[in-house]
Copies of this chain bind each other. A is one copy, B any other.
Amino acid sequence: MMEQKKKNLDQINKIRKNTNTTRRATVKKIENILYKSFKVLDKGFIRVIDYMGDDSSIVQAARVSYGKGTKKINQDKNLINYLISHRHSTPFEMNEIKFHVKLPIFVARQWIRHRTANVNEYSARYSILDSEFYIPNKKNMQAQSKSNNQGREQQLNDIESKQYLGIIKKNSKHAFSDYRELLNEDDGGKTLDKNKNGVARELARMVLPLNAYTEWYWKIDLHNLMHFLSLRFDYHAQYEIRVYAEVMLDILKKWVPLTYEAFISHRLENISLSKHGIEFIKNLIHGKKNNKIKISKREEDELKKKFGII
């Protein structure tokens, strides 16, 4: 496995050395990191494999331009801001980015629910998987949340964490050993028992647990990437997928800085007030009482927090 990792790194270094000339829009900050691995979780990563367009391509498409389409930087910025805040999504669909991602299977299962992307996954029907499993950090070993059915809460104490991590590690180890036995192969790919057949790969894989790592190429347009990120930055999102979103947000900032800024302001750090929420805030501003507003407890709490009301 060490060997495989070295081989992968060699390939990455080799491809990073190539340069070509192009008439296309290029982004320096992305060129600098192209093909590089950004580590996520304990054994996962994200790499940018390719990209199409920059901030000015959005403007160019919005204007259906013959040339570059951009005017002064300030005009471009205002247009992008306008497009994002008014939900004009089509110009952002004109940019694309392609990632190579290594991620645990249970994360992949959430991720794939975004259907507006292109995916090629490494197939455990064709190929044999390595012994790579996600083992959480102690600080991420948390108990079930009491208030939120789908979340987790306070960190487990040291003794609990250690014990539970032991179970996870042992489970991963045993599962991998079962997998190899079913394949009738050792870790190096050598046949274990020459007098026996192994089970077909497409069957053997089914003993692997959901924390096994998989890999895929994932391509998405800028509009849908922002949609993916806005969902994955929600406080309901599972930690193990949010860390991937964080790396992608950094990449977004390098790639399309004007769009990034508008996205932060209007989509990540915005707030949506319902009809009743508007009434609630209106009353606050005008010093009226709020005892007749049909606002849910959850929304009220959220608003109070967001607007700094005791």
Q: Which residue of B lies closest to A120 (CB)?
A: B61
| A259 interface residue (CB < 8 Å to B) | no
| A43 interface residue (CB < 8 Å to B) | no
* Complex partner residue of A67 from B11, B20, B160, CB under 8 angstroms: B11
Q: A157–B11 Cα gap in the complex (Å)?
A: 42
Q: A276–B282 Cα gap in the complex (Å)?
A: 17
How many copies altogether? Answer: 4
Residues of B within 8 A of A160 (CB): 196-197
Residues of B within 8 A of A170 (CB): 178
* Complex partner residue of A150 from B57, B178, B202, B306, CB under 8 angstroms: B202
Q: A156–B20 Cα gap in the complex (Å)?
A: 53
Q: At the interface, is chain A mostly helix, strand, loop or mixed?
A: mixed
B299 in contact with A85 (CB, 8 Å): yes
| A254 interface residue (CB < 8 Å to B) | no
Interface residue tally for chain A (C-beta within 8 Å): 139
B8 in contact with A66 (CB, 8 Å): yes
Residues of B within 8 A of A196 (CB): 160
Distance (whole angstroms) from the CB of A166 to the closest CB of chain B: 10
Q: Which residue of B lies closest to A294 (CB)?
A: B265
Which residues of A are interface residues toward B (Cβ below 8 A)? 7-12, 14-16, 18-26, 31, 34-35, 49-53, 57, 60-62, 64-68, 81, 85-87, 90-91, 93-94, 96, 98, 100, 104-106, 108-109, 112-113, 115-116, 118-123, 125-126, 134, 136, 140-145, 149-153, 156-157, 160, 164, 167-168, 170-172, 174-175, 178, 181-183, 196-203, 205-211, 215-217, 219, 221, 231, 234, 236, 238, 264-266, 269-278, 281-282, 284-286, 296, 299, 306-309
Q: Can you offer 17 A-B residue contacts whose CB atoms are under 8 A? A: A9-B66, A11-B65, A15-B68, A19-B21, A64-B216, A94-B118, A105-B109, A105-B210, A142-B203, A144-B199, A153-B200, A156-B197, A160-B196, A175-B209, A265-B276, A270-B273, A285-B309
